[in-house]
Amino acid sequence: MIPGAPVRDRHVVGVGLPRVLWVPALVGLALIALPVVGLVVRADLARFPELVTGGAALSALGLSLRTAAVSTLLCLLFGGPLAAVLARSGAPGLRLIRPIVLLPLVLPPVVGGLALLYTVGRTGFGGRVLELWFGITVPFTTAAVVLAQTFVSMPFLVVSLEGALRTAGERYESVAATLGASPATVFRRVTLPLVLPGVGSGLVLAFARALGEFGATIAFAGSLQGTTQTLPLLVYQVREVDVDGAVALSLVLVVVAVLVIAVARPRAAEGLG
Amino acid sequence: MSEGRGRLVAELTLRRPSFTLDVALEIPAGQVVAVLGPNGAGKSTLLDTLAGLLRPDAGRIELDGRLLTDTRTRVHVPAHRRRVGLLAQQALLFPHLTVRDNVAFGPRCAGASRAEAARLAGDWLADVDAADLAARRPTQLSGGQAQRVALARALAGEPELLLLDEPLSALDVDVAPAMRALLRRVLGGGGPGVGAGHGEAPRTALLVTHHLLDAVVLADRVLVLVEGRVVEDGPAREVLARPRSPFGARIAGLNLVSGTACEGGLRTDDGTLVSGRPGHGTNGGPAVAVFPPSAVSVFRDRPDGSPRNVFPVLLVALEPHAEVVRMRAGVPAGGPDWLDGLAADVTPAAVADLGAEPGVPLWFAVKANEVGIHPATR
Amino acid sequence: MSRHRYTVFTAVLGTAVVAGCGGGAQPSSGAGGQPGEGTLTVSAAASLTKVFGELEKRFETDNPGVDVVLNLGSSSTLAEQIVHGAPVDVFAAASPATMKTVADAGLAGAEQPVFTTNKLQIAVAAGNPKGVTGFADLNKPGVITVVCAPQVPCGAATEKVEKASGIALRPASREPDVKSVVNKVTSGNADAGVVYLTDVLDNDAKVDGVSFPEADNAINDYPVTALKNAPHAALAAKFVELVRGEDGRRALEAAGFGTP
């Protein structure tokens, strides 16, 4: 009824689930979990500390966390209002806009990176303007990493927030308006608090996606230790010569991702409804 | 100001896929109007349009001399500047705020300080007998409690016009009477527990309801809406006694007798005692006795020896219904006016046995435990 | 007919299976389908794409009924696939190190001869607008340089040149493979990139090559082998022969590769 963490009463006897569903469900779980287990089994745990505390690894991890945080913030700043407009404005043409917003979800990230490269790269129209007017070149900078990550993770925030807005419905907002609240007050005091769980889960998803981003970054930002070489890029490169090192670094990514999801659980990750 | 607050003049047309709302109404300040009608008749559309949540295709709405809507001059005052309050079927309390903060919402929007708004909220909560709920969260309230708080919240917004959209229909049958009594007190103005400084003037209100009883108990006037048009409009008793539309006739299936509540029932203005079951909050005030036509027995001669209400009537009409024949009573020579329009449902065989035809004097009898006594407006 | 099979899916599945079982068992071929009787699978470094495409046609003409399937990718990825049991007949690597991975796993054939070499060159935009004339110019202010990451052969070679010449580059990016470096130059986002001579020739419409003497310090050797467990040992040996023979040498030279 009310958006928020649904509480399941342990006394409740549900209708039950057909047992046959368990089989594909477990296969699905195994498909996700087993490779991670395989990664752990494959890891050289004795050398693990040495492998992940190398200069390149720490630098990449730090860069990954910083850029993902900034990207997530940008997603909130721009994706939040975008979700509000999509869910509430009723403006004509929204049906055409929504598929555009979802594009990064279906595009291979490399394509996204190329698209960015040809837009704000040095030869793209945006890039030319930036270079001519402000003397800024975007590719090969940390800003490019952030841009690539924001590009791929924005839809996650928009989709979950728009869903939360639609679920919350407009009835509370109508009531608030009849009580004398201006649109700004309604948004601040009613809409925002109601969709906070949706914002939370959107932020977690966006952060996780930004953290794992590889394709768009490599295509658009390049790879340089301390500037653009995020952890996924480092994993990819180390893999060329040192599989143990790559596995160890992958485990770091897994741990960070699990931490992010665990910290946000259960309110955000499960609070989509 | 006890008069002149909240006079509503509205004239509007709004096209919907299944009907076109086409209504012109004028509600004097302080009047409570019940809007009855079948589903999809446009009742909620009417309320939402008055609240400013819907924009009519054509029309003009004026409240207390303020122009709220005028499609010709493209005036549309937004909902938050209309001073039109809305209480819906669902309480819709903001789930993230405490009860007190919910009620303080309106005063805060009107510019009251935090402390002032909290004080006002406390007053309004006391008015609806919910002061002890102030610190709770909406999820910790029962349906009846939530609706009382929602009422306090709507009132705290100091609306000049209060719109009530089936405020009782989602409540359990055992809590609805208390809420009905509370609404009556609030809408009628005055009454126990009303704090000084607000609420003493009668409130202009539109009440959408499915229940005849709500209309009788809460409203001064009844408006029947069918397919977007007003088919009946008049004092509650008049509409119910002489329905002029099929829907009016259907909902007017109840007999109503007004008077003053007394021990064991109700006393009419001419002194007749109508015995019945006293309802919630009937203590010497104006009241109405309500009973269904099916509970009325009809006799040629005065029945005696049983604890019933017995009224001499003059039969004025026979209306065939599905399984029964509805007898309409008129006033016999020298009888009280309230007998006019009383109905009794009897079998066609009984009609024959009684030799009933218009103009024949008859006796209507009804058992006391079939008669409900409810407080009524003025 | 020519068919380039990119074994991404096979590799992913193979990796999952191997990882899941902790390695060991030889998995059967994955979704790519069991190679038919006359199907020869050749895993070759991405830089050999063009040359091996020509050799594939040649081989199929000389051996009717045989279908050569080229599996192209980064040498280390290909080596990993072979170590994890991919059914491959011939492996042509862009570095002795990656060939060593396969040899250490005991999967290489008796011989792993170097069949060709590749040399670094600087790729610049057509017309060389920044006037890059040598390795030292890559550090000139206003010149955006990209190179390969040291983990891949072209990056390792670049590092060798840096050490030998005493010129430490300050690149804008160390890309994961040589094609990415080329792409950054052709797209105009980098002014210069250190790549192979063969890559410059491959993209001669868009880039110009600048040779530099220091490149001689880092000649890249390309070894080839008919794998020990090759499903089609005879055909594999024949393909290696073709690569090392006159036809192979001519095709390699035309593409800019050197002779060992």
3-state secondary structure C171-230: CCEEECCHHHHHHHHHCCCCCEEEEEHHHHHHCCCCEEEECCHHHHHHCEEEEEEECCCC
In Å, how far are A44, A153, A170, B216 from A38, measured between CA atoms? 12, 27, 47, 75
Domains of chain C: total: 2
Whether residue B375 has pLDDT greater than 90: no
Closest alpha carbon within chain B to A172:
B92
- In a domain, residue C259? The reply is no
- B–C contact: 3+ Cβ pairs < 8 A: no
Tokens, residue B187: 């809408």
Distance, in Å, from the CA atom of B188 to the CA atom of B211, rounded to the nearest integer, reads: 19
Distance, in Å, from the CA atom of C67 to the CA atom of C8, rounded to the nearest integer, reads: 20
- In a domain, residue A47? The reply is no
Looking at the structure, do residues C7 and C112 belong to the same domain, yes or no? yes
Whether residue B258 has pLDDT greater than 70: yes
Mean pLDDT on C30-46 = 68
pLDDT, mean over chain A: 85
User: Which CATH number is C109's domain given?
Assistant: 3.40.190.10
Mean pLDDT on A245-250 = 88
H or E stretch at C83: helix C75-83
Contact B88 A182 (CB under 8 A): no
Instruction: Look up the domain containing A85 and give its range.
Output: 59-269
Q: Find all residues with CB under 8 Å of B173, minimum gap 6, and list them.
A: none
Looking at the structure, do residues C124 and C96 belong to the same domain, yes or no? no
Contact A183 B95 (CB under 8 A): no
Distance separating the N- and C-terminal Cα atoms of chain A: 10
Ramachandran angles phi, psi of C93, nearest 5°: -105, 160
C210 neighbors C127 (Cβ within 8 angstroms): no
Supply the pLDDT for residue A5.
43
- In a domain, residue A89? The reply is yes
pLDDT digits (tens, 9 = 90+) for A88-108: 887 888 888 888 999 998 899
Looking at the structure, do residues C129 and C175 belong to the same domain, yes or no? yes
Contact B153 A179 (CB under 8 A): yes
pLDDT digits (tens, 9 = 90+) for A248-269: 889 888 888 888 878 766 554 4
User: Which CATH number is A90's domain given?
Assistant: 1.10.3720.10
Q: Neighbouring chains of A at 3+ CB pairs within 8 Å?
A: B, C
Any CB–CB contact under 8 A between C94 and chain A? no
Among B83-87, B235-239, B288-292, which is the least confidently predicted range?
B235-239
- Which residue of C187, C191, C206 to mutate against A (max A Cβ within 10 Å)? C187
Q: Which amino acid makes up residue B92?
A: L
Topology (CATH level 3) of domain B259-378 = OB fold (Dihydrolipoamide Acetyltransferase, E2P) (2.40.50)
Q: Distance, in angstroms, between B110 CA and closest chain A CA?
A: 7
Whether residue B19 has pLDDT greater than 50: yes
pLDDT digits (tens, 9 = 90+) for A55-77: 888 999 999 999 999 999 999 99
Supply the pLDDT for residue C27.
38
Mean pLDDT on C125-139 = 92
DSSP at B378: -
Q: Distance, in angstroms, between B63 CA and closest chain A CA?
A: 15
Supply the pLDDT for residue B324.
85
pLDDT digits (tens, 9 = 90+) for B339-355: 888 889 888 888 888 88
Mean pLDDT on C206-234 = 92
- In a domain, residue C187? The reply is yes
DSSP at B132: G
Closest alpha carbon within chain C to A233:
C176
Of A126-130, B198-202, B250-254, C112-116, give the range with the top mean pLDDT.
Answer: C112-116
Q: Which residues pair with C69 in a beta bridge?
A: C3, C41
A247 neighbors A43 (Cβ within 8 angstroms): yes
Mean pLDDT on C142-163 = 91
Is the model more confident about C204 or about A12?
Answer: C204
Q: Which CATH class is domain B8-240?
A: alpha beta
pLDDT, mean over chain B: 85
Confidence of residue B325 (pLDDT cuts 50, 70, 90): confident
- In a domain, residue C260? The reply is no
Interface of A with C (CB under 8 A): 34-35, 37-39, 41-42, 117-118, 121-123, 137, 139-140, 218-219, 221-225, 228-229, 233, 236-243
Domains of chain A: total: 1
Mean pLDDT on A173-190 = 93
Confidence of residue A174 (pLDDT cuts 50, 70, 90): very high
Contact A177 B105 (CB under 8 A): no
Whether residue C42 has pLDDT greater than 90: yes
Supply the pLDDT for residue C37.
60
Supply the pLDDT for residue B292.
84
The residue ranges of every structural domain in chain B are 8-240, 259-378
Looking at the structure, do residues C239 and C138 belong to the same domain, yes or no? no
Contact C188 A121 (CB under 8 A): yes
Q: Distance, in angstroms, between A141 CA and closest chain B CA?
A: 43
- In a domain, residue A153? The reply is yes
Supply the pLDDT for residue B282.
64
Instruction: Look up the domain containing C60 and give its range.
Output: 3-116+222-254
Looking at the structure, do residues C69 and C14 belong to the same domain, yes or no? yes
Supply the pLDDT for residue B201.
59
Whether residue B74 has pLDDT greater than 60: yes
Percent of chain C past pLDDT 90, that is, above it, reads 60
DSSP at C133: -
Q: Distance, in angstroms, between B34 CA and closest chain A CA?
A: 20
- In a domain, residue C124? The reply is yes
CB neighbourhood size of B194 (10 A): 16
Buried b / exposed e across C238-251, counting CB within 10 Å, b at 16+? bbbebbbeebbbeb
Whether residue C26 has pLDDT greater than 80: no
Of B52, B106, B163, which has the smallest distance from its Cβ to A179's Cβ? B106
Whether residue A11 has pLDDT greater than 80: no
Among B202-206, B306-310, C198-202, which is the least confidently predicted range?
B306-310
Of A139, A219, A237, which has the smallest distance from its Cβ to C151's Cβ? A237
What are all long-range contacts of A185-194, with beta carbons under 8 Å and residues at least 24 apart? A185/B80, A185/B109, A186/B80, A187/A84, A189/B94, A189/B105, A190/B94, A191/A84, A191/A88, A191/A165, A193/B94, A193/B96, A193/B97, A194/A3, A194/A164, A194/A168, A194/B94, A194/B95, A194/B96
